[in-house]
Amino acid sequence: MELFTKLRSRLSLILLTCCIVLSACSSNVTSNTTTSTTNGESYKAGTYTGSAEGKNGEMSVEVTFSDTEITSIEVKQGSETEGLAHPALEKIPASIVEGQSLAVDVISGATVTSNAIIDAVADCIQQAGGDVEKLRTKAIVKNGVNEEITTEVVVVGGGASGSAAALKASENGAKVIVIETTASPAEQGTMAGGMFATNSSEQVEKGETVDPQ
């Protein structure tokens, strides 16, 4: 009888130990799962509208969220300058969705428009319960591509004088590359066509035509 009692006590002790170990394992699994969820982004799924002040007035965007991601961004309203603002309207929303971050590069020549889109999206993120400050500093990994190009003339800066220099070199038969940071060649010259005297009486007399685009 005494032996049976001792065996029963030992068995109970072993079972208790197993329960404690299993409980600890279960606790660790739960903790790891929670950490993983906390490290990701979290939103109230749906579509939200946000706005911010652009170059020529208020701009509004419509942003759609899943529970964990920004799925789409559409610029709904704005009176930004046609031509100059287009690259920002196209590239900024795409970059935010691709990187799931607000820390995207603004478009040179359309800085105000770029920042207005970012701020309007930030407004939507806040409405959806996201962490705006975290997304403003979230680094985006960029994978560049190395490319070797052979040329004879490199013009750094595609403004009015740079564009004219590149055109003249090209007319003289040289292979030319123009390096420009803004959205289009000629920089602000795109909005000051008068100084280029396009479609002048002299050009018309010579039968030269200029593409208005």
CA distance 107 to 89: 10
- Give the residue from 108, 136, 164 where a domain finishes: 136
- The pLDDT assigned to 127 comes to 97
Of the chain, the end-to-end C-alpha distance in Å amounts to: 104
- The torsion angles phi and psi of 159, rounded to 5 degrees, stand at -70, -160
Which residues, including other chains, have CB under 8 Å from residue 173's CB and lie 6 or more apart? none
- The torsion angles phi and psi of 78, rounded to 5 degrees, stand at 165, 155
Give yes or no: residues 111 and 161 share one domain: no
CA distance 93 to 98: 9
Per the DSSP assignment, residues forming a β-bridge with 60 are 51, 77
CA distance 114 to 101: 14
Q: Alpha-carbon torsion 94, 47, 79, 131, what sign? A: negative
Give yes or no: residues 64 and 126 share one domain: yes
Q: pLDDT tens digits for 82-105?
A: 878 889 999 999 999 999 999 999
pLDDT at 5 over 60: no
* Domain assignment present for 120: yes
What's the total number of domains in the chain?
2
Per DSSP, which regions of the chain are E strands? Answer: 46-53, 58-65, 70-77, 153-156, 176-179
CB 163 within 8 A of CB 100: no
Strands 176-179 and 70-77: unpaired
- Tell me the percentage of the chain whose pLDDT exceeds 90: 48
* Domain assignment present for 53: yes
User: What's the chain's length in residues?
Assistant: 213
* Domain assignment present for 131: yes
Give yes or no: residues 106 and 177 share one domain: no
In the Cβ-directed half-sphere of 132, how many Cα atoms lie within 13 Å?
12
Domain that holds residue 84: 46-136
CA distance 26 to 39: 20
Per the DSSP assignment, residues forming a β-bridge with 63 are 48, 73
Whose tokens are 């906390």? That residue is 38
* Domain assignment present for 209: no
Give yes or no: residues 52 and 107 share one domain: yes
Quick check: pTM over 0.95?
no
* Domain assignment present for 161: yes
Residue 35: what residue type?
Answer: T
* Domain assignment present for 26: no
Q: pLDDT tens digits for 7-65?
A: 445 544 444 444 444 444 443 333 333 222 334 789 999 999 999 999 999 999 999 99
* Domain assignment present for 86: yes
